[in-house]
Amino acid sequence: METGPARPSLAPAPVPSDATQAPRRPVSVAIDVANGDPERPLSGAALVAPEGARLDRRPAGRRAEPTETPADWVEAAETGRLPARLLTASATPEPAAEPDLAVAMPAVPDHPARPSLFIVQITPEMAPIAKVGGLADVVFGLSRELAIRGNHVEIILPKYDNLRYDHIFELHEVYRDLWVPWYEAAIHCTVFFGFVHNRKCFFIEPHSKDNFFGRGSIYGFPDDVLRYAFFSRAAIEFLWRAGKHPDIIHCHDWQTALVPVYLYEFYQPLGMTHPRVCLTIHNFAHQGLIGAELLRASGLHRPDYFFDYHRLRDNRYANALNLLKGGVVYANFVTTVSPRYAVEVKDQGHGFGLEPTLHTHHVKYGGVVNGVDYDMWNPEIDRQIPVQYGVDRIDGKYDNKRALRHRLMLADNEKPIVAFIGRLDPQKGLELVRHAIFYTLENRGQFVLLGSSPDPRINADFWGLKRMLNDSPDCHLEIGFDEDLSHLIYAGADMMLVPSRFEPCGLTQLVALRYGTIPVVRAVGGLADTVFDKDHSSRPLHERNGYVFQDYDYTGLESALGRALACYYEYPEHFRDLMKNAMRSDYSWNRPGQDYLNIYDFIRDR
């Protein structure tokens, strides 16, 4: 039975002493040993792989790290334990029509005898009890996948006053007097436990005049960064006080990015040497910037040390600390939610200032495409739609289309329904969404939109649009958040539009695929990794599942949406084949669950 190398007694020092310091142990697995010269640019040609490994080619021109030696490369390959596919250093493909991002990986064999892990997810959101965006769905789906693979999974959340308590079972107090250090004193907290669809969840409730989580909504307050800096501290203080020593702490986004900082600065010296931290970044646009007050609040004194560019100091604003940057520096592994986005962020200017930090830490950085929870999002068993259907009984979809029209008072005609579901955020390509509404209506289609924004100006714009189109029998804009309605739209629409400016992964296209609703997407981030154009793709025909455009402009959008509408009318049998391809695409948590376990194994051994 393989148990892996012995655990080191202390976690590796997470902070490099200077920006150029390479890791002690190289983790690249794309290997060029033909020449044996570490200074020679890696050509991406001659690769030596461990048996059974599937490695991609190293991007041409990538230079070896100063401390990497051929022997190191061989060693890394021989261990065969590295999730190379997850490392962007080896994830850039040759320019190709489609980025499989070549995702060279994994060599990391499935471990039939992998010991079960104790994994704690620390998160600001989880569906369905506290959901603002896709992060909530990811925590919900990944937790279950890890649990059904035999691991013990617990989740720690803030006890918001607006949690969906109807989804929490057996909620009860489990830790009454948790005192969490804050400024020069401590805040008294109570910890509750409850089951959310069988997931084991702890909820932290602070009692202080700040009323951190009793404000009626999850985000949108001037002290948001302090609120989550506090939550992160409270979560790890709880683990410590409760004597929990998870193998892995998995945190999410800037809100919980301080967890590894606290772990290595405060709790490891106290003896909490066991856990390793994986940080998943769902969106680099939000990083949690704050001034020096954070240091006093959180107990991270020593401004010279923390206000340092190698630790928490923001790369762009010299007076700001950056929580997400701290997470990248201190976590044992950092993922983002698709390989393409991982590359875009690190190398193509989409890192919102974090590019140099990601370069410094590239050896512990990579992308894993999100999964979809097919227990929740599956037309064969979905009780929130009137008629269940599947790839072998696809006609049921048309009953849902009728039901959707009925619910939204749309005309019952021969037209296809194009839908958009999402946060009304500039990220989502709102100019193109707006244009698509008119384009669809002019081209014999119907349009349905479900979305909302915390920004009142954006909401007002869409309300204006809604009033303008109010009399159209072919258009309905629903401004608000409505999960029930979203199920019916996924089931009843023919096409799902995702014209994002940038998209770390995107869940709407993945859910749409499952419901046989053809995605029309822009080729960015996770959209490019998951949707393959019907007419212009290097993929085999049976893997093509949607329409893709490149340029963020009206012409680009029309090139894809126009083809989708034309196919619907002129080649209905082709459109139906495309629907079947879409429904057969597997974007369950199966593969990403395995990827995360590989990452966990990888960091546990270091």
**Distance in Å, CB of 505 to ligand ADQ, minimum:** 3
323-362 residues near ligand ADQ, rule: CB under 6 A: 337
Closer to ligand ADQ by CB, 79 or 545: give it: 545
Neighbours of 298 (CB within 10 A): 24
**Distance in Å, CB of 280 to ligand ADQ, minimum:** 8
Does residue 588 belong to the site contacting ligand ADQ (CB under 6 A)? no
> Which residues are within 8 A (CB) of 60 and not within 5 positions of it... i.e. 6 or more apart?
41, 42, 43, 44
Among 195, 221, 481, 571, binds ligand ADQ (CB under 6 A): 481
Closer to ligand ADQ by CB, 506 or 593: give it: 506
The one-letter code for the residue type at 460 is A
Does residue 453 belong to the site contacting ligand ADQ (CB under 6 A)? no
101-140 residues near ligand ADQ, rule: CB under 6 A: 133-135, 137-138
Instruction: Give the three-state DSSP class for 486.
Output: helix
Instruction: Give the three-state DSSP class for 228.
Output: helix
Interface size with ligand ADQ, residues (CB under 6 A): 27
Among 379, 451, 516, 519, binds ligand ADQ (CB under 6 A): 451
Instruction: Give the three-state DSSP class for 249.
Output: strand
Cα–Cα dist 131/180, whole Å:
26
Choose the stretch contacting ligand ADQ; rule: CB under 6 A; options: 378-386, 434-442, 454-462, 503-511: 503-511
Residue nearest ligand ADQ, CB atom distance? 133
**Distance in Å, CB of 240 to ligand ADQ, minimum:** 29
Does residue 145 belong to the site contacting ligand ADQ (CB under 6 A)? no
Report whether 420 contacts 449 (CB < 8 A): yes
515-544 residues near ligand ADQ, rule: CB under 6 A: 526
Does residue 452 belong to the site contacting ligand ADQ (CB under 6 A)? yes
Does residue 492 belong to the site contacting ligand ADQ (CB under 6 A)? no
Extract the annotated binding site for ADP-alpha-D-glucose.
131
C-alpha distances out from residue 516 to 31, 564, 576, 585, 599, Å: 41, 14, 9, 10, 32
Does residue 594 belong to the site contacting ligand ADQ (CB under 6 A)? no
Report whether 105 contacts 84 (CB < 8 A): yes
Does residue 430 belong to the site contacting ligand ADQ (CB under 6 A)? no
Cα–Cα dist 11/1, whole Å:
25
Cα–Cα dist 389/597, whole Å:
33
Report whether 244 contacts 237 (CB < 8 A): no
Cα–Cα dist 222/132, whole Å:
18
Closer to ligand ADQ by CB, 26 or 546: give it: 546
Cα–Cα dist 52/27, whole Å:
18
As a three-state string, the secondary structure of 543-605 is: HCCEEEECCCCHHHHHHHHHHHHHHHHHCHHHHHHHHHHHHHCCCCCHHHHHHHHHHHHHHHC
Print the binding letters for residues 270-289 with ligand ADQ: x by CB under 6 A, - otherwise: ------------xx------
Instruction: Give the three-state DSSP class for 193.
Output: strand
Closer to ligand ADQ by CB, 265 or 503: give it: 503
Choose the stretch contacting ligand ADQ; rule: CB under 6 A; options: 37-45, 161-169, 501-509, 588-596: 501-509
Cα–Cα dist 84/60, whole Å:
17
Neighbours of 242 (CB within 10 A): 13
Helices (H), 505-553: 508-514, 525-530
Choose the stretch contacting ligand ADQ; rule: CB under 6 A; options: 10-18, 147-155, 480-488, 565-573: 480-488
Closer to ligand ADQ by CB, 179 or 481: give it: 481
Closer to ligand ADQ by CB, 218 or 421: give it: 421
Closer to ligand ADQ by CB, 370 or 517: give it: 370
Extract the annotated binding site.
131
In this structure, what is the dihedral angle of CA atoms 61, 62, 67, 69, given to the nearest 10 degrees?
A: -70
Does residue 593 belong to the site contacting ligand ADQ (CB under 6 A)? no
**Distance in Å, CB of 64 to ligand ADQ, minimum:** 32
Which of 582, 71, 10 is closest to 264 using CA atoms?
A: 10
Choose the stretch contacting ligand ADQ; rule: CB under 6 A; options: 31-39, 42-50, 421-429, 515-523: 421-429
Does residue 257 belong to the site contacting ligand ADQ (CB under 6 A)? no
**Distance in Å, CB of 429 to ligand ADQ, minimum:** 11
Among 2, 483, 535, 543, binds ligand ADQ (CB under 6 A): 483
Using CB under 6 A, list all residues that contact ligand ADQ: 133-135, 137-138, 282-283, 337, 370, 421-423, 450-452, 481-483, 486, 503-508, 511, 526
